[in-house]
Structure 1
Amino acid sequence: MKVQRLVAALVTALLAGCGPATVTTGDPDPSAVRHTPQRAYPVGVQHFVVDPDGPRPLPVTVWYPAVVPATLPAPATAPVPATPPAASTAPPAAQDAPVVRPGAPVAAGRFPVVIYSHGLRALPEMHAPLITRWAAAGFVVAAPTFPRTNLRARDFTRDDVRNQPADCWRLIRELVRLDAHRGDPLAGHLDVDRIAAAGHSAGGYTTAGMFTSGHSARLRSGIVLAGGELPGSFAGPVAPLLFVHGSADPTVPESVGRAAYAHAPGPAAFLSLTGQNHGAYLTPGHSGFAQILATTTDFLRWTLYDDRAALHRLPADAQLPGVTTLTNRLPP
């Protein structure tokens, strides 16, 4: 009960102010991507709206593994290290800023899906540096713009965070429909039985709020960045969870994230960034970004591709003395 009272009090503090931190090339080959991809993909991006005429229209940005026509030159990108200087045995991911092309054809195969939730007064593209690197590593990332908490919301309502887990489930249902719709560019490319949820700040609360009693088994895992839990979180089927938090976060204190970690019933890990705030570590080049990218990518590869090697790499990839520490109760 003490933990519940603490979380309830600090949800109010969170809601008081947290912010940012086409056509296919043909029928996809369902066997093309069944194991962890061994190369980094270029990234495509497209947009659609869920329930455009309903009471809560939900604009969605989707980043996905793509193919780039040979006739189009790749634009220059500034390299940003994705891993610590030490050598890694991980399959190549997006170690440089990925090439992103609107409407590029989707790469062959079916890819697991990540639902990414933004924080208060934020937008999905504010975390594109992290999201696009996940897409380059072989995941489709669908990021909704929530109607009453986004940066441009006319009727901004911080309490609307409590309605956002249901928005995410509406998005999942729409992705299931799109995957079966042969006329859609994403059709046949979405592994809708392998879904993770992730989010920052209020989006982290939104992510936790998806793991309630009776949630669909499609939802395999979750990543909570600088967030906590909503009432009813972690009451459903057990799923692995990864928590990431700055130890000096003034908006959502690290104790809130640790309380959520303690409450999570299954395999879980807590990555703490020493002395860091509410989300600067999500910026490429900032201290801790390399560890966050490596750790979250390992976690997604393990939980969505069943990649045990990624699970075994995760503790080493997560920790850099003086920058990060990892607490975990993951499988050996």
Structure 2
Amino acid sequence: MSDSITANAHGTTDGPGTVVSAKPVLLPAPGRGEDLQVRVCAPATGGDLPVLVFSHGFGWSMNGYAPLADYWAANGFVVVQPTHLDSRTLGIPHEDPRTPRIWRIRVEDLARALDGLDVLEAVVPGLTGRVDRGRIAVAGHSWGAQTASTLLGARVLDSDGVPGEDMSDPRVTAGVLLALTGLGDDLTAFAAEHLPFMRPSFDHMTAPALIVAGDRDQSALSTRGPDWFTDPYTHSPGPKSLLTLYGAEHSLGGISGYEVAETTDESPARVALIQRLSSAFLRGALYSGDTGWKAAAAALEEDPNPLGKLQSK
């Protein structure tokens, strides 16, 4: 089905824009066991639109993260949201033989969505011919951030600590990584035993990325505190930026939705800051002449009551 949404400013801040979306779009996925379900949303007007593929957190689906997806689309991005196999909407049991491979299938889902851009473009009313295939970024939250980081060059260490397969995608040139988990040296015993893919190496994550962490995000999977979520910034090469949000827990104020059980730290202001900074960062990374990121960073630094702090390298 398709639907239209009146959302926030289209382009910048010059009035409300209309977002057109289509869901579910089915992309054939031989060997996956399920066709890939995708939601696509885009501005109703404008051309040369960059693409942003978003990977949801554990259990979510293409229907989540409206505060981000609708904002990004209203600000000029074609937002592509695949539903991964761990989604509660699919009801796949833990004992399913695909479970140990879902982390890899997630990465394949993002690549498959990019492979299917012709189909996705054609199914959204009026979108054909308006997509800029040369400007593609990824974003994700929590497990989705790990999935997205892999396309940016992050790898998974094997049992001997050797970086595994390079699954980066040359089509992807920038990313936004929200609540991305840190190094595997500090996993709890449960996580180390059951989640072996949570042993990342960020040494090869060379693409520009904005990493967002909450200073009250205490993971049940790590023996460390909230600083664990700053590892992707600390241990990756530049260019990178780190936004540390004051008082934010894993939902970062409600990016998956304001009134959902996972949102333990509801803050529309915090979400609005993520909306603005993530959009500005991506435009700055994708368009060499864009100055919006510098302006947004300066505004945060000059704010007398900032919601967070920004570092860059």
Per mean C-alpha deviation after superposition, the further-off stretch among 200-209 and 47-56 is 47-56
The 1:45/1:197 distance shift into structure 2, 3 A limit, reads: same
**Equivalent in 266, 269, 274 of residue 241 of structure 2:** 269
Deviations 1:261-292 (A, max 9, x none): 12221211111111221114124853412221
The 1:153/1:292 distance shift into structure 2, 3 A limit, reads: same
Q: After TM superposition, list the pairs within 5 Å mapping 1:188-199 onto structure 2.
A: 188-199=129-140
Greater relative contact order (Cα 8 A, min sep 6): structure 1 or 2? 1
Shift of 1:240: 0.7
Look up the equivalent residue of 2:172 and give its one-letter code. L
- List gaps (5 residues or longer) in structure 1: 1-21, 24-35, 67-106
Equivalents in 2 of 1:204, 1:185: separation in Å?
Answer: 30
The 1:218/1:237 distance shift into structure 2, 3 A limit, reads: farther
Q: After TM superposition, list the pairs within 5 Å mapping 1:212-251 onto structure 2.
A: 212=153, 213=166, 215-228=168-181, 234=202, 238-251=206-219
The 1:318/1:238 distance shift into structure 2, 3 A limit, reads: same
Equivalents in 2 of 1:198, 1:125: separation in Å?
Answer: 15
The 1:114/1:183 distance shift into structure 2, 3 A limit, reads: closer
* Equivalence for 2:103: 161
Look up the equivalent residue of 1:220 and give its one-letter code. T
Q: Secondary structure at the match of 1:308?
A: coil
Q: Secondary structure at the match of 1:134?
A: helix
**Equivalent in 306, 320, 323 of residue 307 of structure 2:** 323
Equivalents in 2 of 1:178, 1:162: separation in Å?
Answer: 22
Equivalents in 2 of 1:261, 1:133: separation in Å?
Answer: 25
Asked if the contact 1:294/1:317 (under 8 Å) is kept, the reply is no
RMSD: 2.9
Does 1:260 pair with 2:232? yes
Equivalents in 1 of 2:60, 2:123: separation in Å?
Answer: 33
Deviations 1:291-331 (A, max 9, x none): 211111111211223343113113124455352111112xx
Deviations 1:226-263 (A, max 9, x none): 11366666565732110111111123753232111122
* Equivalence for 2:65: 127
Asked if the contact 1:295/1:317 (under 8 Å) is kept, the reply is no
* Equivalence for 1:65: 43
Equivalents in 2 of 1:182, 1:280: separation in Å?
Answer: 32
Shift of 1:198: 0.3
Asked if the contact 1:241/1:264 (under 8 Å) is kept, the reply is no
Shift of 1:54: 5.0
Look up the equivalent residue of 1:209 and give its one-letter code. T
Asked if the contact 1:271/1:318 (under 8 Å) is kept, the reply is no
* Equivalence for 1:305: 287
User: What's the % identity of the aligned pairs?
Assistant: 28
Asked if the contact 1:210/1:233 (under 8 Å) is kept, the reply is no
**Equivalent in 105, 114, 117 of residue 175 of structure 1:** 117
Q: Is the strand fraction higher in 1 or 2?
A: 2
Does 1:115 pair with 2:53? yes
Shift of 1:191: 1.1
**Equivalent in 18, 21, 36 of residue 42 of structure 1:** 18
Q: After TM superposition, list the pairs within 5 Å mapping 1:69-108 onto structure 2.
A: 107-108=45-46
Does 1:186 pair with 2:130? no
Look up the equivalent residue of 1:138 and give its one-letter code. G
Deviations 1:63-111 (A, max 9, x none): 1001xxxxxxxxxxxxxxxxxxxxxxxxxxxxxxxxxxxxxxxx24120
Equivalents in 1 of 2:209, 2:251: separation in Å?
Answer: 19
**Equivalent in 82, 86, 89 of residue 152 of structure 1:** 89
Q: Secondary structure at the match of 2:173?
A: strand
Look up the equivalent residue of 1:239 and give its one-letter code. A
The 1:133/1:153 distance shift into structure 2, 3 A limit, reads: same
